[in-house]
Structure 1
Amino acid sequence: MDSVKHKLIKFRNSKAFTPLLALIFLFIFNFFYIDGFFQIEIKDGRLFGYLIDILNRGAPLMIIAIGMTLVIATEGIDLSVGAVVAIAGAVAASLIGGEMQITPAGEIVYETVTTVPVAVLAALVVAAVFGMWNGFLVSSLKIPAIVATLILMVAGRGVAQLITKGQIITIYYEPYFVIGQGYLLGIPVAIFIVAAVLLIVGLLMRKTALGLFIESIGSNDVASRYIGIKEKQIKFIVYIFSAICAAIAGLIITSNVKAADANNAGLWMELDAILSVVMGGNSLQGGKFSIVSSVIGALVVQTLTTTVYAAGITPEVNLVIKGFVVLIIVILKSDIFKEKLNLLVQRGDRV
């Protein structure tokens, strides 16, 4: 009995407790108010349903949240991920091209500038360069992260518009659609991409010293520097990784909508990513972090969005609801609330 109680207390104090509680609450609400929310159908060998849509549509946010978690763990912030999403999508779409042509025989063919692997690699490399820019400003020039990444947040979307020449680039090349619309074993490919990123990062953080270095820098960067941890290099790396995660999300989004829209792609995704990380129990002051909890937080944000749309509520209300959620999270994380909660728990144990 004591062992079970100890495990419950440990789970209650874990970072995953709050986002899981929120996710369960949303599921209970949808069970009663959204018809067929838990229903999953198989059509043409593919899984369909609200739950699959949440995982599929939430894939870009989950990937960005993974990168954002590492940045926040170093006591930083990356406001430029939305702009990098637009840049990566613009680069890939420009290289893929894909003009639809009709041959004299009446056949429809699609002309492309380059292959999908080359376009994907180019998008990732360009994103990594912008990540280096953020990392350089933060680690070497010591510019506050919120200011350094704000520069790219504003200028980056302008760069994306320059790449697309202010136009929406439509993609016709079908092999590119596999990234965002493809299915493998009946499951969306985007979900497998999230799983791969999560697995790779999880192994790097827990099977190497990198995770400990990041937590150490976030807890006390000065002390970390004195004990030999290369603080500048670690911060430089996490901003590059955050940009690469944003690029992967940009590829999924452009593949899903079959177009690159520099104005709207990734718009305000940085705020959703930060909300996901905070909802996952990770502190904005850096230190210990949980990538899995951030992914669960992203699922909460996407479930909330899906619930609003499924309930027939206007999209504008979604922003108000997110603001209300942020308010609740801030209250739950306040020292005064935690003290009162601990007092109630102690009184309950006495009774």
Structure 2
Amino acid sequence: MPRLLQAIARHPLLWPVVTLLLLFALDVAHRHDFLGITVLDGHLFGAPIDILNRAAPLVVVSLGMTLVIATRGIDISVGTVVAIAGAAAAILLADDPTHVGAALAAALGVGLLAGAWNGLLAAFVGMQPIIATLILMVAGRGVAQLLTGGQIIPIGARGYLRLGDGFVAMVPCAVWIAVAVVVITSLLVNRTALGLLVRAIGVNPVAARLVGLRSSAIVFGVYVFCGLTAAIAGILTSSNVRSADGNNAGLLLELDAILAVTLGGTSLAGGRFSLIGTVLGALIIQTLTYTTYSIGVPPEATLVVKAIVVLVVSVIQSARARALLAQLAARFTAPSSPTRARTEVQ
């Protein structure tokens, strides 16, 4: 039993799970029907469904960010890619609402090109990842505004809008898309050598290169994948709000993605990552946003509350904190020695 408690205390997913459960408990205390799910017009409705639906774009983006961070990189341009992808799709749909396939292809193509640009600068040119992606973050936002003319472009194509507000088997389509991306990413990193190669590059990129790994190609591919996930998030976001906004779409999404990745236990130093932890981190952020609004926290204080929660969870789940908790668990669960027992009796 003591060993089990120590193993639980050291598990990297312990505190993300505890944090999410505490947020749920707070919501239930404030609203007793928080966990209630009803069926209306053949669809599932309720706070948990709404949280999953709203968290879907963040989950998708965070999965790409996880692999980038695992290679000791960073991508702060994902929010901009979300805006460009939505703008590209909206422009094509504005000309002909029936060109849904072309709009989706254009949005995904934007993500692939953006990821290839970041990967080229970071992997082959040797530029620092934060600088390489900062270039696209700044320039790309301008590109999105040029595409939209600084205006909000409405989207009326029903086939496109179903991705954001439609339902399949009573569950929002966005949730199914996020689940599909999670499954595909998990298969890539767990059923192929990609996960091992990413970890090797993150732990020691020099050693990985010396043993013959094509580190640059792998890092390039990771950035391309991150751009693709950002484009998928752009499709979900624009279809959900029924418009493309080059100014505000995806704004600060890169920060939420980085927070979700770190909350899930992925090391910013590279090498160690957890896809399930990233999903939990994204759910924590979305649930925290929902909680702050539902309990009446002023909008101007929401970011402060989010920062405090992220700080506390990050400190608690650090290696030193987990080791300390394991020691405390062992101390309280260790059986008393005979000498100690006789002393207590006396």
- 1:194-216 deviation line (CA, Å, top 9, x unaligned): 11111111111111001000000
Q: TM-score, normalised by structure 2?
A: 0.93
SS in 1 for 2:44: strand
Tell me how large the CA RMSD over aligned residues is: 1.6
Deviation larger for 29-38 or 283-292: 29-38
Instruction: Show the counterpart of 1:150.
Output: 134
Which of 38, 41, 45 lines up with 1:41 in the alignment?
Answer: 38
Which of 83, 86, 90 lines up with 2:83 in the alignment?
Answer: 86
Instruction: Show the counterpart of 1:345.
Output: 329
- How many percent of aligned residue pairs carry the same amino acid? 48
Instruction: Show the counterpart of 2:114.
Output: 130
How many Å apart are 1:36 and its aligned residue? 1.7
Task: Give 1:178-257 correspondences, 5 Å limit.
Answer: 178-257=162-241
Deviation larger for 230-239 or 319-328: 319-328
| Structure 2: segments with no counterpart, 5+ residues | 336-346
Cα distance in structure 2, aligned partners of 1:337 and 1:190: 36
Deviation larger for 311-320 or 270-279: 311-320
Which of 245, 262, 283 lines up with 1:278 in the alignment?
Answer: 262
Instruction: Show the counterpart of 1:63.
Output: 60
Cα distance in structure 2, aligned partners of 1:333 and 1:9: 14
Cα distance in structure 1, aligned partners of 2:144 and 2:221: 23
- 1:271-301 deviation line (CA, Å, top 9, x unaligned): 1111111110111111121101100110010
| Structure 1: segments with no counterpart, 5+ residues | 99-110
Asked if the contact 1:90/1:260 (under 8 Å) is kept, the reply is yes
Cα distance in structure 2, aligned partners of 1:51 and 1:244: 27
Which of 10, 14, 23 lines up with 2:11 in the alignment?
Answer: 14
SS in 2 for 1:58: helix
* Residues 7 and 179 of structure 1: CA distance in aligned 2, closer, same or farther (over 3 Å): farther
Paired AA for residue 84 in structure 1 = V
Instruction: Show the counterpart of 1:295.
Output: 279
1:30 equivalenced with 2:14 (yes/no): no
Asked if the contact 1:18/1:281 (under 8 Å) is kept, the reply is no
- 1:299-348 deviation line (CA, Å, top 9, x unaligned): 01000011112223222222011111232134224555445434423433
* Residues 71 and 295 of structure 1: CA distance in aligned 2, closer, same or farther (over 3 Å): same
* Residues 176 and 245 of structure 1: CA distance in aligned 2, closer, same or farther (over 3 Å): same
The structure 1 segments of at least 4 consecutive aligned residues displaced by more than 6 Å after TM superposition are: none
Instruction: Show the counterpart of 2:105.
Output: 121
* Residues 191 and 8 of structure 1: CA distance in aligned 2, closer, same or farther (over 3 Å): farther
Aligned residues: 335
Deviation larger for 338-347 or 210-219: 338-347
Instruction: Show the counterpart of 2:299.
Output: 315
Cα distance in structure 2, aligned partners of 1:158 and 1:34: 43
1:76 equivalenced with 2:70 (yes/no): no
Cα distance in structure 1, aligned partners of 2:52 and 2:267: 25
Which of 296, 309, 315 lines up with 1:325 in the alignment?
Answer: 309
How many Å apart are 1:43 and its aligned residue? 0.5
Cα distance in structure 1, aligned partners of 2:123 and 2:144: 25
Instruction: Show the counterpart of 1:176.
Output: 160
Cα distance in structure 2, aligned partners of 1:347 and 1:296: 30
Asked if the contact 2:67/2:198 (under 8 Å) is kept, the reply is yes
Cα distance in structure 1, aligned partners of 2:246 and 2:3: 51
Paired AA for residue 192 in structure 1 = W
Q: TM-score, normalised by structure 1?
A: 0.91
